[in-house]
Amino acid sequence: METAKAVKTNIEGFEIRFAVIEDVPLILELIKGLAEYEKMLDQVVATEEGLRKTLFEKQQAEVIIGEEQGKPVGFALFFHNYSTFLGKANLYLEDLFVKPEYRGKGYGKTLLSFLGKIAVERDCGRLDWWCLDWNTTSIDFYKEMGAIPMDEWTVYRVEGEKLQGLAKLWE
């Protein structure tokens, strides 16, 4: 099994590393843990094969894993997007999750801070993410970290049959 070099953090016994292909089952487990927390487990259709293809073959996103004493306790999945107004890339945080039994130790803050470090090192203009409106615990946490809610924006989505229909408009 290939292993990624872990980066020590300012929390004793907590390290962060980039995921490797052998982590695919773990990544799926953490995604399901997040989905369960968000009451959306029934919406998870991701598979190990799909994650292997999109994360490691196509490299469409990246994953960092937080470990306490070598045991995985959380993750963040992110990718680059682009701001035409800034004229530069940004990081978009798709998911950040720390297992419930490991919360309150500063691991989420450290994972988010590490993403900030990556964004700065890669000369990104900003770090963006979404948060469910009911998740006041996370909202308070993000605001404490300096995040500003983008209340004037509405998220739109086209998926499934509607996405197929949209694509057919091109034909």
Q: Exactly one of 82, 107, 142, 156 is catalytic; which is it?
A: 142
Nearest to 126 by CA among 89, 154, 166: 89
CA distances to 107, 139, 141, 153 from 150, in Å: 25, 12, 16, 6
Q: Is 142 a catalytic residue?
A: yes
How many H-runs (helices) and E-runs (strands) does the chain carry? 5, 6
Q: Can you tell me the distance from the alpha carbon of 40 to that of 97, in angstroms, rounded to the nearest whole number?
A: 14
Q: Can you tell me the distance from the alpha carbon of 45 to that of 58, in angstroms, rounded to the nearest whole number?
A: 19
Q: Which residues are catalytic?
A: 142
